[in-house]
Chains A and B, each alone.
Chain A
Amino acid sequence: MINYIKGLFKGLWSLLVGLKVTFREFFTRKITEQYPENRSTLKMNERFCGELTMPHDENGNNRCIACGLCQMACPNGSIRITSEMVTDPDTGKQKKHLVKYEYDLGSCMFCHLCVNACPHHAIEFSTGFEHAVFTRSKLIKTLNKQ
């Protein structure tokens, strides 16, 4: 009997706590984004994965050494690297040089394995999300500047 009454009041109390939480939620600012209208002011969350990019510095150089680790790490085969061997004019040594870095947005699943694999932090994800295009071939992007 005593357990019954204790359980009743404990249950009631926990229900009231739940009601308090949702009551507060009712009056908080709503997080819905009115997308096309607020397009100019929209701020995406920093960690949102939009598409893969390769940042370039002011001279147009990227940090990629064409090692191919990202290509090997990608489970979907979304990355294709074309490289060539060039001779360094100072040391005379053979060195790999990136010719073309192709990234297929259409088959990427945004898993970040390529970004994690890169030893030089040459690639990263941007927050851009407006990916719609009319043909599949437009989704295959060349990330490095030639």
Chain B
Amino acid sequence: MFDFGILTNWIHTQLTSVMSEGLAIFLECVIIGVLLLLLYVIIAIIMIYMERKVCAAFQCRLGPTRVGPWGSVQVICDVFKMLTKEIITIRHSDKFLYNLAPYIVILASVMAFACIPISRGLEILDFNVGVLFFMAASSIGIVGILLAGWSSNSKYSLIGAMRSGAQMISYELSVGLSILTIVVLTDTMQFSEIVMRQADGWFIFKGHIPAVIAFVIYLIAGNAEVNRGPFDLPEAESELTAGYHTEYSGMHFGLFYVAEFVNLFIISSIAATIFLGGWMPLHIPGLDGFNAVMDAIPGFIWFFAKAFFIVWLLMWIKWTFPRLRIDQILTLEWKYLVPIGLLNLLLMVIVVVFKLHF
């Protein structure tokens, strides 16, 4: 498995040989920031294209086909269209908060995005409480959504924002519990360590029953976290026009839109990282020839394949089920997912204490 850490270390030593340490680190930060944003945009474009195609396939349609081969340039055209649109300021809105909200949402999303280990040595934010940081960073997005709803001075936005507040804060709990289940199994919160421990089998196999239950809970709660699928109450088109971003236009709307799709990718890639081994190839203990073949495939291909597979799973769920009512959403969370998650955590503790895992 190629270690990108060698490459980054080499760049670092080259830079420090011509300039001071502080300047080198500053320069590296700038480069990484730019690359991160670039990757962010590319992922967003791929995700929007994928969403259109997958959604079309589930509805027995073809999706975009006209612009470029198989409609592949369609999303790029849409991005340019969005960029040329006017940003309208609403007259009786709270101007400062109104303009700030989309940036808070995107900031939270980028910070969470930076936590994802893409390949060996390709981790941007990687420290011993990475999981905690990820949870904290991703929940800042709720503040942005609440601000957007509050400051745009529209009843639809406000109702949408309130719903998303209730929903996202509740489901945070289940996401946390299911990640915690895996943390119990690994006894580490560092993403790179979590991936390394899966070298002899992914956690969904190693942790068997509790891991599978945690995986399912994570998928449900994660879907609700990003306001998608059957849980898209905050932007229920049929009742709230567009929910919290009703009053936004141009690129400010675009930021919400992009953040929503990348959040979906982030949720999926975290699921891929903690349950399906992230960039770790499929290893079966004992079959050395097979493992060697699997190792030949680069880590980031494994990572993106797994992440997009989970994205596909979530899209499948989204385009299958009808939207829930707000009371049904809260019932599902507080009466089903949280108790099951807690019991599952207990089960995992028993499994770990009695060494019943592989």
Contact = CB atoms under 8 A, between A and B. Distances in A.
B59 interface: yes
Interface SS of A by simple majority: helix
A22 B336 CA distance: 25
B60 A28 contact: yes
Contact of B316 (A8, A23, A28, A31): A23
B219 to A, nearest CB: 12
A30 B320 contact: no
A32 interface: yes
A22 B61 contact: no
A8 B321 CA distance: 16
Interface string A1-41: 00000001000000100110111011010111010000000
Interface string B305-327: 00000000000110111000000
A36 to B, nearest CB: 10
A27 to B, nearest CB: 8
A8 B316 CA distance: 21
A25 B321 contact: no
Contact of B57 (A18, A21, A30): A30
B8 interface: no
Interface size on B, as a range, is 10 to 19
B65 interface: yes
B284 interface: no
A43 to B, nearest CB: 18
A37 to B, nearest CB: 10
A25 B58 contact: yes
A146 to B, nearest CB: 44
Interface residues of A, number: 14
Contacts of A19: 316-317, 320
A22 B316 contact: yes
Contacts of A22: 58, 316, 319-320
A22 B321 CA distance: 10
B62 interface: yes
B320 A31 contact: no
Contact of B60 (A8, A18, A25, A34): A25
Contact of A18 (B56, B62, B320): B320
Contacts of A28: 60
A26 B316 CA distance: 9
Contacts of B61: 30-32
Contacts of A21: 320
Contacts of B336: 8
Contacts of A31: 60-61
A15 B322 CA distance: 11
A26 B59 CA distance: 7
Contacts of B319: 22
Given A22-B58, A25-B59, A34 B321 contact: no
B318 to A, nearest CB: 10
Nearest to B321: A18
Interface string A96-132: 0000000000000000000000000000000000000
Nearest to A21: B320
Contacts of A34: 62, 65
Interface in B26-65: 56-62, 65
A84 B346 CA distance: 93
B321 A15 contact: yes
A28 B61 CA distance: 10
A67 B154 CA distance: 60
B321 to A, nearest CB: 6
B60 A30 contact: yes
Nearest to B62: A32
The 9 closest A-B pairs by CB, nearest first: A32-B62, A22-B320, A30-B62, A32-B61, A18-B320, A26-B57, A22-B58, A31-B60, A19-B320
